[in-house]
């Protein structure tokens, strides 16, 4: 048995049956990280010693018959999520050396579930980006082709799972940062409903949009991780106090009678022909499995990009005001207090600065109503589009991204092209929906293509089951990246 090839669910079973040990699984991951991550750059910090201690403790607990949900399973955590005693940078120089004195809620949940934490994964600075090229530290590479990006901003988590350097990983998705890298790396990446998972201890980017999400090689793996981190937390006032269903039990694979909406606005000029073909065949497959396909319209889709790029920077400018060199991270001392703050804030990278400037402008007196206020009104229209659609259908099917993984350096200097990457993922964040990306094919360069399934608020069980049904009927998720050698 090559332990590193097991899915999370397979490893969990093998651990419970005593066929392998958590120490063996953790060592296998750490060995692979040492061998491969120089080329891939998916991790920013390895917590190898802590991981081996956690693995040893898990093995003792397993031997005593304990069965917490992720007991002994090695996972990775995006470096925007606080970890007690372990550096957390949000991919920014402004938090270099910052060591949180507490665990985020989701990390507490991982530990309580018995998971082993391998390390912290790379991210675009403050999760602003779609390629990890905005990380102040390293650019992560796509395991399918090292000349290409893994997507972003949770590109480190996606690359680590796709390359077999973790069994699953946490990310965050403010405008697509779990679904788009899942699409580029051939994974199942879930963006749950806003409020489903507590953000306590997750470094804030845009507070009305941010949400934690999960990556796995299969839908079942993604679900197993999601099950553990979902739930109410009194420390996060936006966390929803609603029951958490048994998501794993909801994966029946039966989608007979499921109404699947196909939004005309998501099949537009500019989308790769190979992406469109793969997504359309995936929709046909859902029909074959018993779903009813319904043409729908989300008429305000075209406004999602400008609305998001007002709201997200506006909220970011407010959230990032706290990095003044006094409370967190490094301080550069200047001639006086103002000069010190200025010099310290010069540590922000150019994309973060761009957003702070855009956001500050959009919120400034005289412009607030004109920009932020108006964007909020259009956001309501986008939300209503989804609510109307969900009166007709249970799930919406669409591409996750208009293209497959692009080359490193290809669009990094062209912010608009980078922003256009998010055109199919942003609308969900602006509404109250949830979504998942799963592999639905490969293009001519052998790069994965993602199918996005969107559900109404709190309907994660529905989209997870639809994704699972599709996955059971196809083989795409079984392909693993071979060497990550440049193909073109
Ligand atoms: N790519 C989008 C942005 O740059 C979304 C990022 C995210 O979801 N964190 O804002």
Q: Looking at 21, 22, 42, 78, which residue is catalytic?
A: 78
- Burial track 184-204 (b if 16+ CB lie within 10 A, e otherwise): bbbbbbbbbbbbbbbbbbbbb
Q: Which residue has a Cα nearest atom 5 of ligand 1?
A: 175
Kindly report the number of other CB atoms within 10 A of residue 342's CB atom. Answer: 15
Q: Looking at 135, 157, 177, 183, which residue is catalytic?
A: 177
What's the length of the chain?
488
- Six-digit token pair at 482? 């071979």
The ranges of the chain with pLDDT < 50 are: 486-488
Answer left, alpha or beta for residue 441, where phi above 0 means left and psi between -120 and 50 means alpha.
left
Spacing, Cα 178 to ligand 1 middle (Å): 9
**How high is the pLDDT of residue 416?**
87
pTM for the whole structure: 0.98
- Six-digit token pair at 468? 């699972």
**How high is the pLDDT of residue 12?**
98
Q: Which residues line ligand 1 (CB under 6 A)?
A: 127-130, 153, 172-177, 205, 312, 422
**How high is the pLDDT of residue 488?**
40
Residue 150 CA to residue 158 CA, distance in Å, equals 7
**Helix or strand run (H / E) with residue 116:** strand 116-121
């Amino acid at each position: 048995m090559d332990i590193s090839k097991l899915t999370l669910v397979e490893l969990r079973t093998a651990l419970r049956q005593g066929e392998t040990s958590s120490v063996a699984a953790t060592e296998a991951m750490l060995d692979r990280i040492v061998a491969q991550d120089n080329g891939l750059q998916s991790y920013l910090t390895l917590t190898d010693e802590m991981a081996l201690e956690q693995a040893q403790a898990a093995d003792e607990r397993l031997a005593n018959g304990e069965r917490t949900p992720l007991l002994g399973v090695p996972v990775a955590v995006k470096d925007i999520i606080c970890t007690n005693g372990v550096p957390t940078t949000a991919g920014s120089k402004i938090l270099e050396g910052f060591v949180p004195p507490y665990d985020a809620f989701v990390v507490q949940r991982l530990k309580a579930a018995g998971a082993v934490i391998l390390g912290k994964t790379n991210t675009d600075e403050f999760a602003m980006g779609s390629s990890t090229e905005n990380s102040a530290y390293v650019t992560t590479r796509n395991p399918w082709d090292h000349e290409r990006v893994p997507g972003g901003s949770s590109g480190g988590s996606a690359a680590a799972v796709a390359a077999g350097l973790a069994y699953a990983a946490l990310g965050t998705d403010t405008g697509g940062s779990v679904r788009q890298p899942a699409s580029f790396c051939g994974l199942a990446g879930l963006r749950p409903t806003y409020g489903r998972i507590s953000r306590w201890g997750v470094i804030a980017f845009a507070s009305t949009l941010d949400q934690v999400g999960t990556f796995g090689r299969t839908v079942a793996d993604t679900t197993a991780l999601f099950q553990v981190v979902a739930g109410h937390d009194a420390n996060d006032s936006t966390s929803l106090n609603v029951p958490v269903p048994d998501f794993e039990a909801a994966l029946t694979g039966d989608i007979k009678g499921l109404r699947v909406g196909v939004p005309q606005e998501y099949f537009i000029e500019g989308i790769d022909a190979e992406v469109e073909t793969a997504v359309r065949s995936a929709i046909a497959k859902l029909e074959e499995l018993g779903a009813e396909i319904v043409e729908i319209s989300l008429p305000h889709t075209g406004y999602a990009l400008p609305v998001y790029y007002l709201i997200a920077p506006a909220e970011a400018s407010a959230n990032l005001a706290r990095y003044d060199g006094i409370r967190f991270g490094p301080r550069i001392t200047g001639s006086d207090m103002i000069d010190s703050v200025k010099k310290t804030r010069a540590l922000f990278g150019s994309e973060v600065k761009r957003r702070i400037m855009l956001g500050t402008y959009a919120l400034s007196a005289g412009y607030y109503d004109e920009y932020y206020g108006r964007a909020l009104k259009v956001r309501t229209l986008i939300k209503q589009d989804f609510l109307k659609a969900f009166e007709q259908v249970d799930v919406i099917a669409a591409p996750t991204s208009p293209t497959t993984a692009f080359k490193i350096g290809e669009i990094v200097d062209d912010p608009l092209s980078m922003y256009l990457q998010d055109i199919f993922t942003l609308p969900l964040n602006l509404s109250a929906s949830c979504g998942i990306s799963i592999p639905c094919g490969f293009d001519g360069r052998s790069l994965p293509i993602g199918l996005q399934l969107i559900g109404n608020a709190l309907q994660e069980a529905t989209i997870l089951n639809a994704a699972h049904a599709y996955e059971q009927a196809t083989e795409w998720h079984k392909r693993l990246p071979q060497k990550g050698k440049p193909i073109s």
